[in-house]
């Protein structure tokens, strides 16, 4: 569309017409081109089987080939053993494009909210990675078909990191000799230093971290029993997410109490565990992300820590996908970021 701005000529007119309001389009910023048409990519694998780390990288690259306008595949860091840590960014590549309430493409001057979605910070929790891979494939395959998903891909930048700790995937909780999800203050492990840099580079508005197991969501704090400043907002958003997923919702500091992950049965042999007492957890990703301004939660998927079968992946995906989409919509806008 070309806008022609006509200048009125009042030279010879003794009684000029009443002036219309000034047109406030500056000549330096031409009107944007019309939004490109919405095309649904042809995605061959929506819900992959459990994959090794090399096969995860292959699958991310296949999705990038199948949906080049909606994805970017990249590396944000290296592990101690020299493995690349991959992400896939899902958004409409026409980064200014968003949908309005009527579902039409409009040009939006607001920057998009950024969401970080991670799996397997604990390498031995492959059901989290598999479910997150299913989110990626299914979102891409639904672009242009499902209004909600289309508008989320238009309006958000979603960075998926299927495996935060590839050196220990899929075997061990520990990496570089430490529990990576207690390492956010000490920063002794390479994956944590790298994911922190990645986080600070993008200043994510929300973060969803996949773990196993227990079918429960955790929200801040882990380090303190005092409700976090956004407790009410957390409950408002996450009660709905938890209900959609049929998961429970607790604070991370309640993990090892009688209301926690171990209820019942007791999952870890905690020395001196008496139930109901406070057992803080320090140095977690969630407290750190939240402390840096993101609406951060942990999702404890499924009912075990083994390599999941395809039907287990499908079933946990079906159970949680709607809740995940609700999170993508609400969480990035729920709390105010510090400056
Ligand atoms: Zn975990």
* pLDDT tens-digit map of 282-305: 999 999 999 999 999 999 999 999
pLDDT (0 to 100) of residue 12? 43
pLDDT (0 to 100) of residue 196? 98
Mean pLDDT lowest among 153-157, 244-248, 285-289: 153-157
Query: Model-level pTM?
Result: 0.84
- Ligand 1 mean position, distance from CA 176 (Å): 16
Q: Assess contact for 223 and 281: CB atoms under 8 A.
A: yes
Q: pLDDT tens, 156-181?
A: 999 999 999 999 999 999 999 999 99
Given a cut of 60, whether residue 223 has pLDDT beyond it is yes
Distance between alpha carbon 53 and the CA centroid of its chain, in Å? 20
Q: pLDDT tens, 118-129?
A: 999 999 999 999
- Ligand 1 mean position, distance from CA 272 (Å): 22
Please tell me the distance from the alpha carbon of residue 281 to that of residue 104, in angstroms, as a whole number.
Answer: 46
pLDDT (0 to 100) of residue 279? 72
- Ligand 1 mean position, distance from CA 96 (Å): 36
- Ligand 1 mean position, distance from CA 121 (Å): 7
How confident is residue 106, by pLDDT bands cut at 50, 70 and 90? low
- Ligand 1 mean position, distance from CA 23 (Å): 57
Mean pLDDT of 56-65: 98
Q: Assess contact for 99 and 26: CB atoms under 8 A.
A: no
More confident residue, 33 or 177: 177
- Ligand 1 mean position, distance from CA 46 (Å): 25
Please tell me the distance from the alpha carbon of residue 158 to that of residue 163, in angstroms, as a whole number.
Answer: 15
Given a cut of 50, whether residue 4 has pLDDT beyond it is no
The closest alpha carbon to 207, from 198, 50, 58, 215, belongs to 198
């Amino acid at each position: 569309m070309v806008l022609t701005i006509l200048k009125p000529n009042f030279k010879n007119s003794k009684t000029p017409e009443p002036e219309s309001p000034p047109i406030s389009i500056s000549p330096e910023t031409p009107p944007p081109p019309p939004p490109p048409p919405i095309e649904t990519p042809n995605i061959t694998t929506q819900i992959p089987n459990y994959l090794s780390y090399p096969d995860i990288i292959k699958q991310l690259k296949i999705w990038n080939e199948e949906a080049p306008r909606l994805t970017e595949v990249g590396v944000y860091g290296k592990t101690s053993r020299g493995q690349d840590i991959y992400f896939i960014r899902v958004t409409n590549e026409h980064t200014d494009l968003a949908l309005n309430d009527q579902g039409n493409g409009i040009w939006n001057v607001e920057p998009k909210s950024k969401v970080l979605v991670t799996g397997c910070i604990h390498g031995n929790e492959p059901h989290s990675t598999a479910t997150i891979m299913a989110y990626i494939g299914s979102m891409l395959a639904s672009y242009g078909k499902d209004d909600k998903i289309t508008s989320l891909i238009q309006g958000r930048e979603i960075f998926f990191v299927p495996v935060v700790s590839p050196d220990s995937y899929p075997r061990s909780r520990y990496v570089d000799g430490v529990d990576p999800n207690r390492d956010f203050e000490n920063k002794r492990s390479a994956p944590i230093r790298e994911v922190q840099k990645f986080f600070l580079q993008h200043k994510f508005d929300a973060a969803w971290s996949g773990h196993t197991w227990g079918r429960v969501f955790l929200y801040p704090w882990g380090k303190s029993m005092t409700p976090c400043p956004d407790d009410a907002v957390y409950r408002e958003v996450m009660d709905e997410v938890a209900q959609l997923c049929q998961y429970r919702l607790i604070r991370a500091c309640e993990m090892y109490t009688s209301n926690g992950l171990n209820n019942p049965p007791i999952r870890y042999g905690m020395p001196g565990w008496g139930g109901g007492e406070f057992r803080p957890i320090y140095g977690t990703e969630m407290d750190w992300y939240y402390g840096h301004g993101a609406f951060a939660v942990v999702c404890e998927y499924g009912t075990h820590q083994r390599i999941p079968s395809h039907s287990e992946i499908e079933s946990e995906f079906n159970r949680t996908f709607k809740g995940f989409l609700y999170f993508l919509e609400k969480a990035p806008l729920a709390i105010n970021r510090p400056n």
